[in-house]
Amino acid sequence: MLHLILFLFFGAICVAGAVNLLVQSHPINSALSLIVVMASLAAEYLLLGAEFVAAVQVIVYAGAIMVLFLITIMLLNAGKEEHTKGSRVATLIGVPGVAIGAVLVAWTLVGRLSTTHSVSIGALWGAPNDIARLLFRDFLLPFEVTSVLILIAIMGAVVLASRPEAIARRHHSTAPPQESRELVATGKDH
């Protein structure tokens, strides 16, 4: 009973945050509501007995990734989004499609209500040790592959985010400044 109440509580927060992400027009608010969603999701994970996942969810998602988003928003000083009518397809085809898909899925799910025990906090079948055992034994190869993926992502991010003239300067240290200004101009004029 308590379990159900908690689930509904955090679920409500989740949905509220998700909807708020949609309705808010300023990216900062969207980001914050997303953080709320993630935090309450972590609570849901706790309800499901996945403590480690919950902790990592908070640390990685809420603590790191969303901070990246926040930094980007601040850096680019993104303002309210203007409501341009760029794409009729998205509204005329996409939204109905999503609605149909959602309805279908919900229908199937509700049609097959399978009651199941959910583990409450403390019942430690998802202990970090077991996860580590899985992660470093059975899933070693995917683990390594993802690590390589991360590495590549880091390098790509560095290359992408560093200014072209910065790269040029790194390559040959005596790059005249006006050249870099030209680069910026060419970058900006289309």
Partner 1 sequence: MVPLSYYLVLSGILFVCGVLGFLIKRNIITIFMSIELMLNGVNLSFVAFAAQWHDLRGQVFVFFVMVVAAAEAAVGLAIIIAVYRTRETLNVDQVNLLKL
Partner 2 sequence: MTLNPYLWLVPLLPLAGAALNGFFGRRWSKHVISAVALVFCGAAFAMALLLAAGFSSASAPYYYDLAHWLRSGTFQVDFSFYLDQLSLVMLLVVTGVGFLIHIYSVGYMWDDDGYYRFMSYLNLFMFFMLTLVLAKNYLVMFIGWEGVGLASYLLIGFWFTKDSAAAAGKKAFIVNRIGDFGFLIALFLMIKHFESLDFTHVFAAVRTLPTETAGVGLLTAIGLLLMVGAAGKSAQIPLYVWLPDAMEGPTPVSALIHAATMVTAGVYMVARSSAIFERAPLAMMVVAIIGTLTALFAATIGIAQTDIKKVLAYSTVSQLGYMFMACGVGAFSAGIFHLMTHAFFKGLLFLAAGSVIHGIGGEQDMRKMGGLRVYMPVTFLTMSVATFTIAGFPPLAAYFSKDEILWKAYSSPNGSWVYWLLGVITAFITSFYMFRLWFMTFFGDYRGAIAHEDDKSSRAGAPSTHAQGGSAPHGHGHGHGGPHESPWVMLGPLVILAILSFVGGWVGIGGRFEHFLAPVFQSGAAEIAHETAGETAGKGTETLLMLISVGAAVLGFLLAWTLYFRRPQLPARIAASLGGLYEAVSHKYYIDELYRVLFIKPLIDGSTTILWHGVDQGVIDAAVNDSATAARHVSDNARHMQSGNLRSYAGWIAAGGAVVVAYMVWMGVR
Partner 3 sequence: MSITTFIIISIIKSVAVVGVLLTAVAYSVWLERKVSAHIQNRWGPTRVGPFGLLQPLADGVKFIFKEDLTQPHVYKPLYIAAPIIAVVFAITSISVIPFGNWVEIGPWGTYLQITDLNIGLLVVLGITSMGVYGVALSGWSSNNKYSLLGAMRASAQMVSYEVSLGLSLVGVVIMAGSLSLREIVDAQGGVFWHFIPRWNIFHGQTLAFFIYLISAYAETNRTPFDLPEAESELVAGYHTEYSAMKFAMFFMAEYANMLTVACLATLMFLGGWHGPIFGPPILQAVMPVFWFCLKVFFFMFLYVWVRWTLPRFRYDQLMAFGWKVLLPLAVANIVYTALVVALRA
Q: Does 168 bind partner 1 (CB under 8 A)?
A: no
Q: Does 145 bind partner 2 (CB under 8 A)?
A: no
* HSE-CB for 69 with a 13 A CA cutoff: 16
Question: Residue 3: which H helix or E strand, with range?
Answer: helix 2-23
What is the rounded distance in angstroms from the CA atom of residue 134 to the CA atom of residue 123?
Answer: 19
Residue 102 CB neighbour total at 10 angstroms: 10
Please report how close the Cβ of residue 114 comes to partner 1 at its closest, in angstroms: 6
Interaction pattern, residues 104-133, with partner 1; x per rule: CB under 8 A: -xx--xx-xxxxxxxx-----xx---xx--
Pick one of partner 1, partner 2, partner 3, none as the site partner of residue 166 (Cβ within 5 to 8 A by kind): none
Q: Quick one: how far is CA 26 from the chain centroid?
A: 17
Do 120 and 46 touch, CB atoms closer than 8 A?
Answer: no
Q: Does 76 bind partner 1 (CB under 8 A)?
A: yes
- Amino acid in the structure at residue 27: P
Touching partner 2, residues 71-130 (CB under 8 A): 86-87, 89-98, 100-101, 104-105, 107-108
Closest to partner 1 by CB, 85 or 171 = 85
Interaction pattern, residues 21-50, with partner 1; x per rule: CB under 8 A: xx----x--xx--x--xx--x--xx-xxxx
Site size toward partner 2 (CB under 8 A) is 18
Residues 6+ apart with CB under 8 A from 42: 54, 55, 57, 58, 62
Q: 26: which DSSP letter? A: S
Site size toward partner 1 (CB under 8 A) is 90
Q: Which residues bind partner 2 (CB under 8 A)?
A: 86-87, 89-98, 100-101, 104-105, 107-108
